[in-house]
Chains A and B, each alone.
Chain A
Amino acid sequence: MKHYSHLIAAFGLAFLLTSCQRNTSTVWEDTKTMGRYLHRKGQLLWKQDVDSKMIESADEFNGPQEEEFIPLRDEDLKRQFADMSIPQPKEVPGAIGSPIPSIDKFAAPASHLSNIFQNLYFNTDEHILRSKEYYNNIAKIADYMKKNQNTYIFVAGHCDERASEAYNLALGTRRANTIRGLLVKKGVNPNHIYTISFGKEMPANLGHTKEAWSENRRVEFKIFEKEGSK
C-alpha cells in the first residue's frame, strides 16, 4: 500500500506541474482569446453586437514593425485602447509582383453597391465620423467585405479647403485610417483595406460655402474585385 501511495503522490505532482506549465503556444492562444474578449466587450459597451475579428497569425497581431521599420518603444508610443493602430497591408498596390493592382483598377462603387459604399463625412478638423448613422454604413461595408472575401478597397481621405494643404494631407490620412480601423474592428481583413490621402487636392464640391466644405470633409471608397481568390 505504501508503495502505491508513493506512486500516486508522484503522479499527482507530475500532473500539477504539467498543468501549470505554459509554453509559447498557450501564451499565444491566451493572447488571442484575451484580444477577442476585450474587443467584443469594448464593442458591447457601444451596444454594437457584431462578430469580433479573429486574429489569424502572430504576424497579424504584432504587425510588420519589427521587420519593416524601427519602432518607437512601447512607452513612447503611448498606446490607447481606443486608438488601435493597424499596420498597413504588406502588398503594395501596383508594385512589381504585387497581386493587388494600382488604383486605376479600383472603381467607384457600382450602382448595386452604392448604397453600401457611401461617402462618409466628418466635422471640421476631426477624424471622428460626423453622424452616428455612418457607423451603420461601416457595419454594412464590413458585412459585404466579410461575405465577399475577394473584395479589396481603397479608403480615400479628403478635407475642406480651410486648413493648409500640407496639414490636410496628414489629416486626410488620419481620416482614412480611422475608417480602416473601424472596418477591421468589425472583422474585415486588414490586408484588404488600403488608405490614401488627397488632403484638399480633390474637392467634391468646388464651392466655398459651409455646405461645400461639409461635402468635402469625407472619405470615398474605390473597389477592386479580385478574380479567383476566396
Chain B
Amino acid sequence: MPAELILWCVAGLLVAAAVGVAMARRAVARPVVYGICLVASLAALLVAVGALLASPKASAASLPLGLPWLGAHFRIDALAAFFLVVVNLGAAAASLYALGYGRHEHAPHRVLPFFPVFLAGMNLVVLADDAFTFLLSWEFMSLSSWALVMAHHRVADNVRAAYVYLVMASFGTLCLLLAFALLAGVDGAYGFEAMRNHRFGPTSAALILTFALLGAGSKAGIVPLHVWLPLAHPAAPSHVSALMSGVMTKVAVYGFIRIVLDLLGTPEWGWSMVVLALGGITSLMGVLYALMQHDLKRLLAYHTVENIGIIFIGLGLTMAFQAYQVTWAAALALTAALFHVLNHSLFKSLLFFGSGAVLTATGERDMEHLGGLIHRMPYTAFTFLVGCVAISALPPLNGFVSEWLTFQAILQSPDLPPWGLKIIIPAVGAMLALSAALAAACFVKAFGVTFLGRPRSPAAAQASEVDRFSLVTMFAFAALCLLAGILPGAVIDSLAPVVGGLVGDRMPVQLAVPWLSIVPIAEARSSYNGLLIFVFITLSASLAVYAIHRFASRALRRAPPWDCGFPDPRPITQYTAGSFAQPIRRVFGTSVFLAREHVDMPPPGDRRPARLEVQMRDLIWEGIYVPVAGAVDATAGRLNILQFQTIRRYLSLVVAALVALLLVLAIWL
C-alpha cells in the first residue's frame, strides 16, 4: 500500500511538471507548481514515516512500464522508507522555501518544469525494485538536475559547470550500468529479489563493488570524483542547490548501500579498507577545499564532500564489522552513518536556504563583499548560526551526535583481527577528528565573514530580511536540528528496522534509557545526553544573566570600537575570508594545494600599493582530469579523419566492422 501511495505522489509531481511546462511564463505558475510539489512531498513524507515506524514488512507495487517482459517494480522496505523520509523532507522544505524564493527567479520557465521532475526522479530511485527502473530513474534525476544547473545558462561558469556535471553523471551511470549488469548475471535477472538470492564469486563481487563505488561515489562526491560537485551545486538556484547537496548526494549513498550491503551480501574485509580510506581522504580534502573558498555557496558545496566522507567512514566500518560477524558493532556504525545522512540533509539544506536568502537580499555570493548582515537580516542570521553550529559537530545540536556515534564505532574496532584494519582505522579516526576541527574553523569563517563585522559593500549595507516562506522553512529546519540533537534516542530507535534489515542486529533501545540519554553499548562505557547538556547550558547561562543583572550592574553604553586605541572606521581593515583562512592555509595548504605566497613590496619612494599574491593548485584536477581530458581530446582528434571519407570507404568500413563482429561472435560461442 505505501508503495502505491508514493507512486501517486510521484504522479502528482509529474502533473506539476506538466503545469510548469504549460504555464511557465505566467506568474501564477510558481505558486501552483511549488504548491503541488509541497503537498505531494508532504504526503509522501507522511507515508514514508508511517512505513518506517509502523509496518516492518515491505510493500511492493508494479507498473506495466519499461521493458515489456519486465515491467517496472517498486518496493518499500525499511531502508527505502528511511531514504524516502530524507528525500521528501528535503523536497517539502525546498518547495516551501521556493514559494518565496522563486519570486526572484528571472527565468522561471527554465526551473519550474524541471524541479518537480527532479523530485520525482529522486523518489523513484529509492522506490525502484529492479535494475532497469533504478537506472532509468537515476538518469531522470541526473538529467533534470543538469537542466536545473543550466537554468542560468548565460553565466559563463554555469555552462562549464553543467558540462562537467553531465560528463561525470554519464560516467557514473555507466559504472552503475556495469555494476547492475554483473549483478543481473548472464540470465538477465533484473529484479532486486533475484540479485539478493544470488551468490557472487570473489572476482565478480570485486568488480561490482568497484563499479558501485565509482558510480554512486561520483554522484555522492567522493574524492577524487568530486570535481563536478562544487561547480554544479552552487550554479543551480538555491533551493535546487539545497536539494542537490542535502538530498541528491544521499540518494547516491542509498544506491551504494542498496548495492553493497543489500544486493551483494557481505564483501571481504579488504574492501572495507578501501571504503574507509576513501572516506577519510574525502572528509579531510573536502573540508580543506571548503576552507579555501570565499564563495559562500561553493564553500557549502565543498563541505558536502566532507560530510559524504564521514558517511562513508561509517559505511566502511559497517563493512569491516560485517566481514567479521561483529553485528552489534556493525549496527552501531551503520546507525551512525544513517544518522549522519539525516543530519546532513537537515543542516546542509538549512545552510543553502540561508545562502539563498543572502543571495536574494544582496545579490552576492562572494563573502569578501558581504559582512554585517546580522543587523540587517537577524532571523536569517540566527538560523544560519544554528546550521553552522550543527554542521561543526558541536553539542548539543545534531551534528555532534552522529560524529560521536562514529567515534564510538571506531573505538569498538581494535578487536578486528586483520593488520590492515588495525592500522587504517586509527588513521581514519585521526582524519575524522582533524576534519571535525577544521569544519568548525570553516564555519566560523563562513558565519563570521558573512554575517558579522561591518558591511564590505553597499549591497550588504542595504540588505533587508527575506520573505516569510523562506524564514518559516529555515526556522523549521533549525528546530529539527535542535530536536534531533537533544532527542537522538528517538532517531536511533526509528533507524533500528533499517539497520536490522541490513546487518541483522540493532543498537539497544534508546528511548528506554533513563533521562533520555543515548547509550550505544553500556552505560559504563559511554553515554551522552544532549537534552541535559542543553538544559544545563540554558539554565546556567540564564542564572548567570539573572544574577549579574540583578546583583551587579546592568548599565550599558555604546561607544566606538576600542581596537587597542587605533580604530579605523573603514570596513576594508577587517579580516576577510582570505585572511581568516591564511594561518590554516600556511599549515595545511602548503603541502595539499602547494600554496605559495608572494609579497610584491614596492621599493621605498614608489607609491604603488603592496600586494600579497597567493597561488594554489588543485592537484586532483591537474593530476587526473587534465591528462584524461587531454587523452580524450587527442584520440578524438586522431579519429577525426573518419568524418571526412568517401562513401565507398564508409561502406567498406561498415562491412569490415560487421564481419569482425560476426567473427568475434563465432569464436566466442
Q: Are A and B part of the same complex?
A: no
